[in-house]
Chain A
Amino acid sequence: MAMARPAGGRSMRNAVELVLALTARDLKLRYQGSVLGWAWSLARPLALGAVLAFALGRVLGTGITAEFLLAGLFPWFWFQGAVQGASGSFIGNGGLLKKVRFPRAVLPLSTVLGATLQFLLSLPVLIGFVVASGHGPGPAWLGLPLVFALQLGLTAGLGLFVASVTVYFRDLEHITEVLLTLLFYGTPIIYAAELVPEGYRWLTYVNPLAPIMEGWRGILLDGELPPASHLGASAVLTAAALAVGWAVFRRLEDGFADAI
């Protein structure tokens, strides 16, 4: 097999610094010149939460509450922003990929990290809503890092996958957009998983995002962790997403510079 790897490899430190620098630059550029800055990342979940709380809760009278919606919408927008952003991260940096040799995975990973930082920065606001609505912190909150890690792993795996395949199959960027919309309604975000009719319940078992969303809500609002079987299934699916995403990326990365 042909090899063209210059000797004197890179340090892990370099890769970490590179991801952090790219992330910082992206975030800085996104809010450069805007008055409200990162507060804009709150706008979408808050606005959608308010509208849905009114439409579903008041108009349709389902009794759904704002904190229920927000506990799903905040993590959802993290997931959606990261995957959608990652899908264009290679094709959007074609010049760089063609001219400079660097660990290419840093591009989608820094996009995912950027969305993650935005989510973490918005988390106090979500927690503020949850606490204000009378759900104080409890021991179950110690499970939050677990749900966070599951979602981060799933997002990184999917991000690597769509970013890599989009280089060869540009339509995937648009397909991703459509699929994310479908996934939004197909995942128990604006409804509880228990409300799904028995015949369709399997959908929430094959959807790796479903137990994660249930996890955020269960911990924040009900003070209990989701069943271990759900978390276990989610962990397996997350590990699979990471493995497949990484394998696909490794398989395809050598052709990026020529395909873009």
Chain B
Amino acid sequence: MPTPSEGEVVVAARGVSRRYPLAVPGQALKTTLLHPGQALAAWRRRGRRELWAVRDVTFEVRRGEFFSIVGANGSGKSTLLRLLAGLSKPTRGTVELQGRVSTLLELGSGFHPQVSGRENVIMNGLLMGRTKREMEALLPRIVEFAGLREFIDQPMRTYSSGMYVRLGFAIAAFMEPEVLLVDEVLAVGDAKFQEKCYDHIARLQREGVTIVMVSHDLGAVERFSDRAALMERGRMVAVGPPRKVVGLHLERLAETSPEIRQAIEEGMAADEEGVRRRLAEDPEWAAEFAAALERHPGFHEKLRQEAGKGRADDARAD
């Protein structure tokens, strides 16, 4: 296998920043007409009410590399992926991607509930830039992967949410992308299908597809990534080996505000086992983590409780 570090750069972000206005005051005609003074004042203030969701992010991903982005909720990682996907333009900086890009942002978006799965697959393909003929050729494999053979001609409003997710992933996965952008989509769906998705992603990775993934599933990040990056308040604060970055992320999580911590705890609960395994296997990391936790007794307590529960479950299984 060629080492990705020597490949050509296919995803590049240079000094990317994205600003969002926090609110758009005075937008309604009614307000403008009835309260002109207020509207004018809001218009004068407009520049100050803003949020830099992504700040000065620079990184490169080489062909065949699996690059993960982790970070707390609201750290800007999903915005960054939207910028890479071209769904939003950077306020400053440039984004460049080479080759055929397939994006998986929120599975099942763009499906119309009133028409059949088959028509939705074709329409999705057309939206992604494929021709009808290409999509008709890909259809059997997509349907097969999603396991929806007997349902494909039913209107999608009759599908379960799991079926939506499966069809959405199957479409993106079989688009033969050269660059695949994945945003936190595999958290949904049953464990068996999730496993199938990860298997497929691993296969794409072996075939040399470049993957950029945003995820809270730290176990998957460590398992698949060649490199990972940590986002914090819009900045990319660390890039490096997934294990190191995930460790740093957990450490920072424990240190940050209660709100963010809460959000992270939820993310961690999903990968509780991974955290516990890390604690057992990597003494250095465990020491760092413990030091971070020491400063937050409440968080520590919760984790210990969960670990205790896990051990009890293990004991029962034995």
Interface residues of A (CB under 8 A from B): 2-8, 10-11, 13-14, 17-18, 21-22, 25, 28-29, 32, 95-96, 98-102, 168-171, 254-255, 257-258
Inter-chain contact A102/B20, CB cutoff 8 Å:
no
Inter-chain contact B86/A96, CB cutoff 8 Å:
no
A32: chain B residues at CB < 8 Å are: 114
B100: chain A residues at CB < 8 Å are: 6, 8
Closest to A255 in B: B89
B87: chain A residues at CB < 8 Å are: 98-101, 257
Inter-chain contact B96/A25, CB cutoff 8 Å:
no
Among B97, B98, B127, contact of A102 (Cβ-Cβ < 8 Å): B127
Inter-chain contact A5/B86, CB cutoff 8 Å:
yes
Q: List 9 A-B contacts (CB under 8 A).
A: A2-B16, A6-B179, A18-B126, A25-B123, A100-B110, A101-B128, A102-B128, A169-B29, A257-B82
Q: A2-B91, A18-B126 are in contact. List 19 more A-B contacts (CB 8 A).
A: A3-B94, A6-B86, A6-B97, A6-B99, A8-B99, A8-B100, A11-B129, A25-B123, A29-B112, A99-B105, A100-B87, A100-B103, A101-B87, A101-B103, A168-B27, A169-B27, A171-B28, A255-B89, A257-B88
A95: chain B residues at CB < 8 Å are: 109-110
Cα A258 to Cα B179 with chains together (Å): 23
Inter-chain contact B114/A29, CB cutoff 8 Å:
yes
Interface residues of B (CB under 8 A from A): 16, 20, 27-29, 82-101, 103, 105-106, 109-110, 112, 114-115, 119, 122-124, 126-132, 179
A2: chain B residues at CB < 8 Å are: 16, 89-95
| CB proximity of A17 to chain B, nearest CB, Å | 5
Residue of A6, A25, A99, A171 with most chain B CB atoms under a 10 A cut-off: A6
Closest to B135 in A: A17
Inter-chain contact A7/B112, CB cutoff 8 Å:
no
A98: chain B residues at CB < 8 Å are: 87, 109
Cα A146 to Cα B112 with chains together (Å): 36
Cα A170 to Cα B30 with chains together (Å): 11
| CB proximity of A35 to chain B, nearest CB, Å | 18
Contact A25 B112, CB 8 Å, known A2-B90, A17-B131: yes
Contact A7 B99, CB 8 Å, known A17-B126, A96-B127: yes
Inter-chain contact B95/A3, CB cutoff 8 Å:
yes
Inter-chain contact A101/B86, CB cutoff 8 Å:
yes
Cα A10 to Cα B86 with chains together (Å): 14
Inter-chain contact B112/A4, CB cutoff 8 Å:
no
B97: chain A residues at CB < 8 Å are: 4, 6-7
Inter-chain contact A13/B29, CB cutoff 8 Å:
no
Inter-chain contact A4/B128, CB cutoff 8 Å:
no
Among A6, A11, A25, contact of B119 (Cβ-Cβ < 8 Å): A25
Cα A18 to Cα B132 with chains together (Å): 9
6 closest Cβ pairs, A-B complex: A99-B109, A4-B86, A6-B101, A171-B29, A2-B90, A102-B127
A17: chain B residues at CB < 8 Å are: 126, 131-132
Contact A11 B131, CB 8 Å, known A25-B123, A98-B87, A101-B87: yes
Inter-chain contact B122/A4, CB cutoff 8 Å:
no
Inter-chain contact A25/B115, CB cutoff 8 Å:
yes
| CB proximity of B303 to chain A, nearest CB, Å | 35
Inter-chain contact B110/A96, CB cutoff 8 Å:
yes
B99: chain A residues at CB < 8 Å are: 6-8
Among A10, A29, A99, A257, contact of B106 (Cβ-Cβ < 8 Å): A99
Cα A69 to Cα B71 with chains together (Å): 65
B88: chain A residues at CB < 8 Å are: 4, 257-258
Inter-chain contact B84/A4, CB cutoff 8 Å:
yes
B123: chain A residues at CB < 8 Å are: 21-22, 25
Residue of A11, A25, A99 with most chain B CB atoms under a 10 A cut-off: A99
Cα A71 to Cα B16 with chains together (Å): 56
Inter-chain contact A14/B129, CB cutoff 8 Å:
yes
Inter-chain contact A18/B109, CB cutoff 8 Å:
no
Inter-chain contact B90/A4, CB cutoff 8 Å:
yes
Inter-chain contact A96/B109, CB cutoff 8 Å:
yes
Inter-chain contact A99/B132, CB cutoff 8 Å:
no
| CB proximity of B82 to chain A, nearest CB, Å | 8
Cα A98 to Cα B87 with chains together (Å): 7
Cα A249 to Cα B89 with chains together (Å): 16
| CB proximity of A177 to chain B, nearest CB, Å | 14
Residue of A10, A11, A22, A100 with most chain B CB atoms under a 10 A cut-off: A100
Contact A14 B86, CB 8 Å, known A2-B92, A3-B96, A99-B109: no
Inter-chain contact A14/B130, CB cutoff 8 Å:
yes
A257: chain B residues at CB < 8 Å are: 82, 87-88
Residue of A2, A5, A95, A169 with most chain B CB atoms under a 10 A cut-off: A2
A5: chain B residues at CB < 8 Å are: 86
Cα A43 to Cα B107 with chains together (Å): 40
Closest to B115 in A: A25
Cα A5 to Cα B87 with chains together (Å): 9
A13: chain B residues at CB < 8 Å are: 131
